[in-house]
Structures are given as structure tokens and as C-alpha cells.
Amino acid sequence: MTERLVRILIDSFGKILLPGLTMTIPLTVISFSLAMVIAVVMALVQYANVRVLRQIARFYIWVVRGTPLLVQLFVVFYGLPGVGIVLDPFPSAVIVFSINEGAYCAETMRAALESVPVGQLEAGYCVGMSYLQIMRRIVLPQALRTAFPPLSNSLIAMVKDTSLASNITVTEMFMATQRIVALTYEPLALYCEVGVIYLLFSTVLTRLQRAGEKRLNAYGA
């Protein structure tokens, strides 16, 4: 560990962290929020067992989960201009991450919905509730409580997956690190440094996850 390397690491920390706060975190939050909307819709479609819509949902999940995220990023950012659809890097990343994560979270939500006893649905009908009221007031709250831990894990995984957005020129933490590496020729130390920053982000989210689980358990009790 030379004096030069220590100086590089100190100088680069802020230059890597800033894109993390201004690009990585917003990309994660926006994408995951849209993914949750997609997931809930896809899960409800499957739970309602409407034949045609269920098949469409299953096809979407099959295609998205069966193809690499990096390929999906390249198709949207580099492929769509070939048919006249040109998107900026950040919107492209948001679209792809939302669609990709939505497919995985949809399966989590579907399993959580199916874990709610059928009697809850029947009880709702008995007191005069409509199907939508039962979903909103009875089934979904219970399903979300069950799905909270795996969905939190998906959010943490997405923070790390955003590093792939550098492949379509999104200036997030990993791309910022690559640019510094190109100037300093210190790949080992700098890639370890960005790894530590990702670890810090993941640790914060893990602590929030545990706090959320405790609160939900206390509420459920």
C-alpha cells in the first residue's frame, strides 16, 4: 500500500460514491417501484386464473426469467434503434430493470397470494365485499407481509445488478470506477473500493429489512 495508492483511494471515494447516490440509488428505487407494480398485476392475473391473461402473464415471466439481464439491456438500448426507437441510457435501464425484476417479483407475489387461506376469500364474500375489496383489504395485506423478506432480498440484489447499466453508458458507480481505473491503472484497489461501497449500500438495506420484518411481526402479533 503505497502513499500514491492511498491518495488515489481517498480521492476516488467521493467520485465513486456521488454517482452511487445520484444515479445508482435513484435507478434502483424507480426501477423497483415500477417492478412492484408489474409484479402485483401479474400475480393478481395469475391468482384470478383468467385463462388468456394468465397465459400472457406466464409467457412474459418465462421469457424474462429465461434470458440474461445483460442481453435485455442490449436489446433495448442497442437493438431498438434499429426499428426507430431510440431511448436515452437511464430510461432504457429503468425499463429493462423494471421488466426484469417485475417477472421475478411476480412469482414471489403469486406464491404469497396462494399462501393466504381460501377461507379468507370466502369470508369476505360472506360479509358482502366485492372481489376487489377482498383483494385490497384482506388478501393483499397478508400476502405482502409474507412476501416482504424475499422482496427485500430482490431489492438488495437489484442495487448490485445496476452495475450492469454501465454497459449501456449509464454513469453509475461502476462506470465511474472504470473511468478512474483508466486514468490511474490501479484496478485491484479501485474495484475493491467500489465493492466496499456496494457492500455498505447492501448493509444499510439489510438493516432496514430486519427492522421492517420486526415491525411486521409485531403488527401481525
**84-117, pLDDT tens digit by residue?**
999 999 999 999 999 999 999 999 999 999 998 8
Residue pLDDT, tens place only, 48-92: 888 899 999 999 999 999 999 999 999 999 999 999 999 999 999
Superfamily holding 3-220: MetI-like (1.10.3720.10)
Q: Is the dihedral of CA 141, 147, 153, 159 positive or negative?
A: negative
Domain coordinates in residue numbering, the chain = 3-220
pTM of the model: 0.91
Q: What is the pLDDT of residues 187-206, one digit of tens each?
A: 999 999 999 999 999 999 99
